[in-house]
């Protein structure tokens, strides 16, 4: 293969990938189309066995190893989905796999990678440090290094997702794709535009890791910080992917963590599907930049679904707070029998559901004859919450709404 993959390379690995991975659905979403003002098809890569698109690149790379390279074994660095993809498919093909993961990697991800048969080495505080350790080990043990994105066969493998999307929805005119290291968007742009030259491809990055957008704009890359979109929290775009991105990608937009949280919750509520932060970035872009995609036929890749259950629960509850479906009221009351019951009666009469009550007599009030309530209420929507609050005020209670 040349330095950059070709569409022939994508075709060359397509059959191997189709035989070894899940044929994930690509479905039209009527509700999301109405919300976003565009016709939207979702590609459910969160349905892959390891829960992410990374299997495609792993199968492509491993299928192209020579007999001697297979006998030597492979090594990869990753904190998540790439690790599991390489481990799982290496085991399936009888290839020894060593995965170097940063020391901070959650134990659940470490264990899942070990369960797939890989030797896991914890090294370094960052992915870059883990990568350096992996390359050192590869040189020492003669292992084949499998990069998560900066490799022509990895890019070619990821590109097969666009073939499947256009097979399922040939009228698509736009793809919106999360960008981390760039392998997925590069492969999808290459394959998609080879089949349909007028197809437009847009990337999406979380605003704290907008390395691709910054490089395209010709400014210094400045990335860092915590984000729920760990899968695309990458400081460096691969050289191979970026060369393709420069040629084929129409633009890269950014979204915030709050935008991604909203998209995660919407996918749970509307599509009944669970995605991780990176997996929701495409929908977040459509919600935040509707003018760019209005009226278009857009394919969105839900690239992964490996989200911590506690994180998911927190996001769903935080979304309900943002939407006004959960509200917290600080209510001043007289410290007398029946006061709490009266509050509950008013809320119940208006159809509110009390989730939690904190009753404070000592620290939050100035008088021994007064008390304070902190009441968390579930409402149907923001307008319903407004009515609940107004009824309490009309009942003579002082309210501070949080």
Q: What are 319-370's pLDDT values in tens digits?
A: 999 999 999 999 888 878 888 899 999 999 999 999 999 887 666 556 666 7
User: Domain 324-401 belongs to what topology?
Assistant: Alpha-Beta Plaits (3.30.70)
In the prediction, which pLDDT does 335 show? 78
* pLDDT, tens digit (0-9, with 9 covering 90-100), for 280-305: 999 999 999 999 999 999 999 999 99
Query: What are the residues facing 144 on neighbouring strands?
Result: 74
Residues of the chain with CATH 3.40.50.1100: 7-54+151-318, 74-142
Query: What are the residues facing 177 on neighbouring strands?
Result: 203
pLDDT surpassing 70 at residue 2:
no
Return the structure tokens found at 397.
Answer: 């209670």
How, if at all, do strands 251-255 and 200-206 pair? Answer: parallel
Return the structure tokens found at 266.
Answer: 């919407």
Q: Where on the phi/psi map is residue 117: left (φ > 0), alpha (ψ -120 to 50), or beta?
A: left
CB atoms under 10 Å from CB of 110, counted, come to: 16
What is the C-alpha separation between 382 and 82, in angstroms, rounded? 41
What is the C-alpha separation between 341 and 360, in angstroms, rounded? 15
In the prediction, which pLDDT does 382 show? 94
In the prediction, which pLDDT does 368 show? 64
Return the structure tokens found at 375.
Answer: 């009441």
8 A C-beta contact, residue 222 and residue 214: yes
Return the structure tokens found at 192.
Answer: 């998609």
Please state the rounded mean pLDDT for residues 44-50.
97
3-state SS, the chain, equals CCCCCCHHHHHHHHHHHHHHCCCCCEEEEHHHHHHHCCEEEEEEHHHCCCCECHHHHHHHHHHCCCHHHHHHCEEEECCCHHHHHHHHHHHHHCCCEEEEECCCCCHHHHHHHHHCCCEEEECCCCHHHHHHHHHHHHHHHCCEECCCCCCHHHHHHHHHHHHHHHHHCCCCCEEEEECCCCHHHHHHHHHHHHHCCCCEEEEEEEHHHCHHHHHHHCCCCCCCCCCCCHHHCCCCCCHHHHHHHHHHCCEEEEECHHHHHHHHHHHHHHHCCCCCCHHHHHHHHHHHCHHHHCCCEEEEEECECCCCHHHHHHHHHHHHHHCCCEEEEEEEEECCCCHHHHHHHHHHHCCCEEEEEEEECCCCCCCCCEEEEEEEEECCCHHHHHHHHHHHHHCCCEEEEC
CATH label, 74-142, candidates 3.40.50.1100, 2.60.40.60, 3.40.1160.10, 3.40.50.460: 3.40.50.1100
Please state the rounded mean pLDDT for residues 251-278.
97
Considering only residues 244 and 308, tell me which one the structure prediction assigns the higher pLDDT: 244
Q: What angle do CA 325, 328, 333 make, to 5 degrees?
A: 135
Banded pLDDT at 81 (limits 50, 70, 90): very high
pLDDT surpassing 70 at residue 126:
yes
pLDDT surpassing 80 at residue 48:
yes
Residues of the chain with CATH 3.30.70.260: 324-401
In the prediction, which pLDDT does 89 show? 97
Query: What are the residues facing 204 on neighbouring strands?
Result: 178, 253
Q: What is the largest CA-CA distance in the chain?
A: 84
Q: Mean pLDDT across the chain, nearest whole number?
A: 94
pLDDT surpassing 60 at residue 1:
no
pLDDT surpassing 70 at residue 205:
yes
8 A C-beta contact, residue 98 and residue 137: yes
Q: What pTM was estimated for this model as a whole? A: 0.91
How, if at all, do strands 370-378 and 353-360 pair? Answer: antiparallel
Please state the rounded mean pLDDT for residues 250-269.
97
Question: Rounded to the nearest 5°, which phi and psi values hold at 366?
Answer: -100, -15
Q: Which CATH architecture has domain 7-54+151-318?
A: 3-Layer(aba) Sandwich (3.40)
């Amino acid at each position: 293969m040349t330095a950059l993959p070709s569409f022939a390379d994508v075709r060359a690995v397509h059959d191997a990938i189709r035989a070894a991975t899940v044929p994930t659905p690509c479905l039209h979403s009527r509700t999301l189309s109405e919300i976003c003002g565009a016709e939207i098809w979702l590609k459910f890569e969160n349905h892959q066995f390891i829960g992410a698109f990374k299997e495609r690149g792993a199968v492509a790379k491993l299928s192209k190893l020579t007999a001697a390279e297979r006998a030597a074994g492979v090594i990869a660095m990753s904190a998540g989905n790439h690790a599991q993809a390489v481990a799982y498919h290496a085991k399936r093909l009888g290839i020894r796999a060593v995965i170097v993961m940063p020391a901070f990697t959650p134990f659940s991800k470490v264990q899942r990678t070990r369960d797939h048969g890989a030797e896991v080495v914890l090294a370094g505080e960052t992915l870059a440090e883990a990568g350096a350790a992996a390359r050192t080990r590869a040189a020492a043990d003669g292992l084949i290094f499998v990069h998560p994105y900066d490799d022509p066969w990895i890019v070619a493998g990821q590109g097969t997702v666009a073939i499947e999307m256009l097979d399922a929805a040939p009228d698509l005119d736009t793809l919106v794709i999360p960008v981390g290291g760039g392998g997925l968007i590069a492969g999808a742009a290459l394959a998609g535009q080879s089949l349909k030259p007028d197809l437009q491809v847009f990337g999406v990055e979380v605003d704290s890791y907008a390395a691709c957008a910054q490089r395209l704009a010709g400014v210094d890359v400045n990335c860092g910080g915590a984000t729920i979109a760990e899968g695309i929290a990458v400081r460096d775009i691969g050289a191979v992917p970026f060369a393709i991105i420069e040629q084929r990608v129409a633009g890269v937009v950014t979204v915030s963590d709050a935008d991604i949280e909203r998209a995660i919750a919407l996918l749970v509520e509307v599509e009944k599907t669970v995605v991780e932060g990176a997996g929701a970035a495409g929908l977040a872009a459509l919600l935040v930049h509707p003018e760019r995609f209005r009226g278009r036929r857009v394919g969105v890749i839900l690239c992964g679904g490996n989200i911590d259950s506690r994180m998911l629960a927190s996001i769903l509850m935080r979304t309900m707070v943002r939407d006004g479906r959960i509200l917290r009221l600080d209510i001043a009351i007289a410290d007398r029998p029946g006061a709490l019951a009266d509050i509950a009666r008013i809320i119940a009469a208006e159809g509110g559901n009390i989730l939690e009550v904190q009753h404070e007599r000592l620290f939050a009030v100035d008088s021994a004859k007064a008390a304070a309530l902190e009441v968390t209420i579930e409402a149907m929507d923001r307008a319903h919450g407004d009515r609940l609050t107004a009824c309490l005020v009309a009942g003579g209670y002082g309210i501070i709404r949080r």
